[in-house]
Amino acid sequence: MLNASRARTELVEWVPAERLGGRAVDAALRPWLIGQGWLTSRLREKFRERFECRADDPWTGLLSGEERAFLGSSDRAGLVREERWRVDGDDWVLCRTVLPDSTLTAHPWLAELGESSLPELLAELSGVTRGPYEYARLAADTPLLCATLGGHAGDGLWARRTRLRMRGSPLALQEIFLPAAGGG
């Protein structure tokens, strides 16, 4: 969706959970990366009032071929929404949600969330299904990391993504684990 990220999105190797076991993942990060349930719920349960969610202004743009394939959507454009999940004022997770135009047409309220956390809202709704997670170690020079973190990704960061359906409408949820969470 970001212009800079289009060139290298296809170079990210996303793997299913069963292939993650052979990868070196920091012991402190592993439970957050592979744990069951909604990550926002688990973070809020563990850190209570020390956890907060900050939503950036969403933007619209063209979907990359990789994003369309992952979503199973022929839509050429959509909305991207990013949230930073923080613990004690430190950014722990960058959550990036891609909503194709057809999903926004079916559920226009998704474009009007303000500071509300989209994953927390989805966790409360009926009719939302989540596919299996895929995992990747994003290289520090991945355009998405460069664009959103300004070159502060060390030697790369762990991420996971899943495809959701809300009453049949697709959306993609990607969570990037930042250095404060042990993701670096």
pLDDT of residue 51: 95
The pLDDT tens digits for 111-138 are 999 888 999 999 999 999 999 999 999 8
Question: What CATH number labels 3-181?
Answer: 3.40.1410.10
For residues 179 and 93, give the distance between their C-alpha atoms in angstroms, rounded to a whole number.
9
- For residue 93, what are its two tokens? 């997770």
The pLDDT tens digits for 74-115 are 999 999 999 999 999 999 999 999 999 999 999 999 999 988
pLDDT of residue 152: 57
With a pLDDT cut of 90, the percent of the chain lying above it is 62
pLDDT of residue 184: 59
pLDDT of residue 96: 94
Q: Within 81-156, where are the H helices?
A: 101-106, 118-124, 143-149
Q: How many Cβ atoms from other residues are within 10 Å of residue 181's Cβ?
A: 23
The pLDDT mean for the chain works out to: 87
**Confidence (pTM):** 0.87
Residue with the larger pLDDT of the pair 147 and 91:
91
Residue with the larger pLDDT of the pair 5 and 113:
113
CB 96 within 8 A of CB 150: no
User: Strands 128-130 and 157-166, how do they pair?
Assistant: antiparallel
What is the residue type of 147?
Answer: A
For residues 77 and 60, give the distance between their C-alpha atoms in angstroms, rounded to a whole number.
7
Segment (H or E) for 68:
helix 65-71
List Cβ neighbours of 108 (8 Å cut-off, separation of 6 or more). none
- Confidence at 8, pLDDT banded by 50, 70, 90: very low
Locate the domains of the chain by residue range: 3-181
pLDDT of residue 1: 44
- CA max distance for the chain: 42
Q: What is the mean pLDDT of residues 54-75?
A: 94
pLDDT greater than 80 at residue 140: no
The pLDDT tens digits for 32-45 are 998 888 999 999 99
With a pLDDT cut of 70, the percent of the chain lying above it is 87
Q: How many Cβ atoms from other residues are within 10 Å of residue 7's Cβ?
A: 10
pLDDT of residue 9: 44
